[in-house]
Structure formats: C-alpha cells, structure tokens
C-alpha cells in the first residue's frame, strides 16, 4: 500500500502545497486503497473517482500556476457521509427510498469542500437516514470495523469513521444527531467532532431530527479535524438555525494544545456517566485518561448533571417526532422510489406502498414512535415533556460550565459489539448513545478522541470532551493535549487481513 494513505491530512497538505506530491497522485493512492480494501470494509456506498481526480487536478493546476491554494486542505481527499447532498452524485442516506436519486444541488458543506479544493472520494455508508449505532440499518449492507471485521464500526456514520481507520481517506465528514460522529470515532480509534449546533450549515444535510442534527469533521488526528472544521464551519444564510458568529479558532487551539500544557484548564468529570452498563475496560481507560489530563496540568473536579439520566428517553421522543415529519416528504411524488405505479392505485396508495417498501424497520419504528408522540392528546405528555427535560439538561450543562471549562466522559459505555448482536434489541442499541446524547439536546460542542484499547478485548475506547456552545476551540485544545500525551492508538491496528 502507498505511504501517502498513512499520512495525516496536515502532512499531505504540506507535501501537496510544496509540490512534493501532487493532489492527483494523493487522490489516486486513496482510490487504489479503496479498491483494495473496501470490498471487506464497505465504508463507501459510491466512489466518485472521476469527480475526485478532476478536483485534485484543478488543485495541481493552481499550484503549478503559482496560485495560492484555495484552503489549507486543498488537494487532500475526503470521504463524505451519504446524508449530504452532492450535485449529480448519488445521495441515498443509506435508504432504498433514495436509490438512484441524483440531487440537483450541493449541500453547503459540499460546496465549501469544493471551494476549498478538497477532492470528494465518494459517499460513505450509514444507518438509514442516520438512525442507528452500527450501520447495520443501511439498506446496502453494514460497514465493518477495520479493528475486527466481525464487529460494528459504530453508527450512524460508521462508513466515515471506518474509511479513516482503514486508511481509505485521511478526512471524512459525519453528522451527529445523538452521537453518530462520536460513537463511530470511539469504536474505530479516530477523532470525531460534533460542533456547536448551528456551527456548520445543515443546508443539504438530509434531515433526521432538525433540532439535533449537526455535521462535523472526522480525522485521524485532532489537528486534521480542526483543519477540516475551519473549512466547513461558518454562517450560512440558507440555514436559519446557522449561528451568525465568528468560527472559533480551532486550528490555533489544536496547535496550542499539542504543546501539552493544560495548566489553568478546569475539567469536570460527569458523575452520572459511570456505573451499571459500563464495561470495565472502558471505565479504566477513562480513569487513565483523567489521570493524564491532570498530569498535563488540568484541574479535575467531579460535577453532577442529574438530569442527564433522562436524556435518552427525551431524545427518543424528540428525534422520532421530528423524523416522522422530516421523512414525510418521501412519498414517491417527486423523486426517489415509486412502487405500485401501475395505474390501478390511487396517489394515496402509491405513497403508502412506496413508504412500506422504501423504509427499513428502524426508520419505520421511529416514524411510528414520533407520529404517536405528536398525536393529539399525547403531545403534552410525550413531546412536551421531552422538551422540558431538554431545558433541564441545558441548565445542567450551564451550571457545570460555571465550574469547569470542559466536561469529560467515556464516549460510549462499551467497545464495539459484534455485527448482528443487538439488531433485535433496539433498547440495547440505543444505550450506546447514553453519553453522547446530552450534548445534542443542549446544542453543545463535543469531541471523541481515541483513549486506547480496552484491556479485556483490545478494542478501541473513546474519550468524550464536551464544551459550551460556541466554545468548540476548548475541545481542540484539550483533545490535542491529551492526544499528544496518550500517543497514537490507530498504529496498533494491524494491516487489514484483506490486503495482507
């Protein structure tokens, strides 16, 4: 395999911009790697070799002409989660209902990537409409974890994280509604960031739960994630919920953190994120991480966020409610799958039969849950109560952030489980997101950074760092300092069996 695929995005950018390697050969190296290993990993639903190479050649032409690169990541290829629209390139959201759909427009994230000269290698696999924690809910088959092809890569953005861990891409974009960036990052030993809600435009992000969805950067290092964060973040007039504020200086924060000094930083350990349901190795890895933060100079205190206990049930009312409405548009009338169109069925029947055929079990489960929760007579008890819980969780965060700069916890309670292990037990599956969901409900920024391997199974564990809204830079400072102290984890992953 080519050395180029082993480099970080920052290293690749340096080599490309100094002319040491071309963007085209960098992109080709990753395309070759995808061709070699993706049959086993199945991180990609669609590879756009031609589009990626064309973008790379444009960067090379700029460099040859002496023009300054369009961005610090110009020429560094990327894997894009299939939930973000790409003009003329398939966008399925892992669903049969969008099979063959070619969006007529680019998501704002996609547009910013193109404008930054980032070649898009292809679209990555995901749980259908981002609903799931394992990518097993993809209509196109699951993605496999490069650490153990028999295990899940996390979800919903398992394809994006697996593509990083399998060295198919140096950068990826994920989306995080309840942990879909952070949980896959944790179980693949990669870095994933859910920016502050509104920090990255949702325009063109096919909605699962509008008030929770947030696109964010994924990389193998904290610095790479920071570089990507600055490319995709910023105010977008096409998204009314986009934050009209300067993008936090996350690259500077990552560089500062990498110097390894956290003196003056107050870190809070969330008391509620431990105990029953947490794997021993995960907790011990977390304790080690906390000790390392102290060694870096951080002051560590325990904080209590009592309402976090109710985050999961509140989430499973709010997200399904919103999704039941967001997914109503998939009705066969304008795009996507259309069944029973034989002239003998009414429009209503075509809609109904198409939705029956096009949606998988988990999507149907959540649409039904949400439809019920919003029904007349139940709204106050379910959706209304959940929104109140959401307010309480936001207050817990606010109180905690009066005492500390960041909060830390394990990203997930357990290491990656086996494919098929939890598909018939949705509640067990939902528990995977118990630590990540509060940040979505409150709109805070949060990151997962590799924190070693669990002692009992040798599988990756993630450290979650949470910061107040608009203080994304704190994640990068603390994350980069910890990453430098802890040392690389992904290096411990042997070569994939398939490419041996």
Residues 194-253 interacting with other proteins (rule: CB under 8 A): 202-207, 209-211, 237-241
DSSP assignment, residue 498? G
Name every residue whose Cβ is closer than 8 Å to that of residue 343 and which is 6 or more positions away in sequence.
Answer: none
62 binds other proteins (CB under 8 A): no
Query: Contacting other proteins (CB under 8 A), which of 105, 115, 141, 499?
Result: 105
Q: Is 461 left (phi over 0), alpha (psi -120 to 50) or beta?
A: beta
What is the pairing mode between strands 78-81 and 120-124?
parallel
- Which of 22, 95, 138, 156 is flagged as catalytic? 156
- Which of 160, 180, 209, 285 is flagged as catalytic? 180
Tokens standing for 116? 């930054």
Strand, coil or helix: what is 43? coil
The CB density around residue 146, as the number of other CB atoms within 10 Å, is 30
* CA dist., res. 189 & res. 212, Å (int): 24
State the sign of the Cα–Cα–Cα–Cα dihedral 318, 319, 322, 324.
negative
Per-residue DSSP letters for 79-114? EEETTB-BTTB---TT-GGGTT---SS--HHHHHHH
* 202 versus 474: smaller Cβ distance to other proteins: 202
- Which of 15, 81, 194, 422 is flagged as catalytic? 81
Query: Contacting other proteins (CB under 8 A), which of 27, 28, 85, 440?
Result: 85
What is the pairing mode between strands 171-175 and 120-124?
unpaired
Minimum Å gap between C-beta 343 and other proteins is: 8
Q: Binders of other proteins: how many residues, by CB under 8 A?
A: 45
Site mask for other proteins (CB under 8 A), range 383-422, x = bound: x---------------------------------------
Q: Which of 325, 324, 357 is nearest to 338 (CA)?
A: 357
93 binds other proteins (CB under 8 A): yes
* 303 versus 323: smaller Cβ distance to other proteins: 323
Using CB atoms within 10 A of its CB, is residue 210 exposed (0-12), middle (13-18) or buried (19+)? Answer: middle
Q: Is 81 tagged catalytic? A: yes
* 2 versus 371: smaller Cβ distance to other proteins: 371
Q: Which of 35, 8, 456, 38 is nearest to 190 (CA)?
A: 8
Residues 318-377 interacting with other proteins (rule: CB under 8 A): 321-322, 324-325, 328-331, 333-335, 343, 347-348, 351, 371, 374-376
* 331 versus 472: smaller Cβ distance to other proteins: 331
Strand, coil or helix: what is 130? helix
* CA dist., res. 241 & res. 293, Å (int): 34
Query: Contacting other proteins (CB under 8 A), which of 51, 77, 103, 443?
Result: 103
26 binds other proteins (CB under 8 A): no
Minimum Å gap between C-beta 204 and other proteins is: 4
Minimum Å gap between C-beta 457 and other proteins is: 38
Active site residues: 81, 156, 180
Judged by the rule CB under 8 A, the positions of this chain that interact with other proteins are 84-85, 91, 93, 98, 101, 103-105, 107, 202-207, 209-211, 237-241, 321-322, 324-325, 328-331, 333-335, 343, 347-348, 351, 371, 374-376, 379, 383
């Amino acid at each position: 395999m080519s050395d180029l695929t082993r480099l970080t995005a920052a290293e690749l950018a340096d080599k490309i911009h100094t002319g040491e390697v071309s963007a085209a050969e960098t992109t080709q190296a990753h395309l070759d790697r995808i061709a070699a290993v993706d049959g086993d990993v199945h991180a990609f639903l669609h590879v756009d070799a031609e589009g990626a190479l064309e973008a790379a050649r444009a960067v090379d032409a700029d460099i040859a002409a002496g023009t300054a690169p369009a961005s610090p990541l110009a020429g560094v290829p990327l894997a894009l989660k299939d939930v973000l629209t790409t003009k003329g390139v398939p966008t399925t959201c892992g669903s049969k209902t969008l099979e063959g759909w070619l969006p007529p427009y680019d998501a704002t994230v996609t547009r910013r990537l193109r404008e930054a000269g980032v070649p898009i290698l292809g679209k990555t696999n995901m749980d259908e409409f981002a609903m799931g924690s394992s990518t097993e809910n993809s209509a196109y088959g699951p993605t496999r974890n490069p650490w153990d092809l028999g295990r899940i890569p996390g979800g919903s953005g398992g394809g994006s994280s697996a593509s990083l861990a399998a060295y198919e891409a140096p950068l990826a974009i994920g989306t995080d509604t309840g942990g879909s960036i952070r949980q896959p990052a944790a179980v693949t030993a990669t870095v994933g960031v859910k920016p502050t809600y509104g920090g990255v435009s949702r325009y063109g992000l096919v909605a699962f739960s509008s008030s929770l969805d947030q696109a964010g950067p994924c990389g193998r290092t904290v610095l790479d994630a920071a570089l990507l964060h600055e490319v995709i973040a910023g105010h977008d007039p096409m998204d009314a919920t986009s934050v009209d504020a300067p993008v936090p200086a996350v690259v500077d924060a990552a560089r500062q953190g990498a110097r390894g000094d956290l003196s003056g930083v107050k870190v809070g350990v969330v008391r509620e994120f431990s105990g029953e349901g947490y794997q021993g190795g995960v907790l011990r890895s977390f304790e080690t991480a906390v000790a390392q933060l102290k060694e870096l100079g951080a002051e560590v205190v325990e904080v209590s966020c009592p309402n976090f206990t109710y985050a999961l049930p509140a989430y499973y009312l709010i997200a399904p409610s919103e999704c039941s409405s967001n997914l109503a548009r998939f009705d066969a009338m304008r795009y996507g799958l259309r069944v029973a169109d034989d002239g003998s069925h009414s429009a209503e029947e075509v809609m109904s039969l198409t939705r029956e055929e096009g949606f998988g079990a988990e999507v149907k489960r959540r649409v039904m849950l949400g439809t019920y929760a919003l029904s007349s007579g139940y709204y106050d008890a379910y959706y209304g109560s959940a929104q109140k819980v959401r307010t309480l969780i936001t207050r817990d965060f606010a109180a905690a952030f009066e005492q500390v700069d960041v909060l830390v916890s394990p990203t997930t309670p357990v290491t990656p489980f086996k494919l098929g292990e939890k598909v018939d037990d949705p509640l067990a599956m939902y528990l995977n997101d118990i630590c990540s969901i509060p940040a979505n409900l409150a709109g805070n920024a949060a990151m997962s950074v590799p924190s070693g391997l669990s002692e009992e199974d040798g599988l990756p564990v993630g450290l979650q760092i949470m910061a107040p809204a608009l203080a994304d830079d704190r994640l990068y400072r603390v994350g980069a300092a910890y990453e430098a102290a802890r040392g690389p984890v992904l290096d411990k992953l042997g070569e994939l069996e398939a490419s041996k």
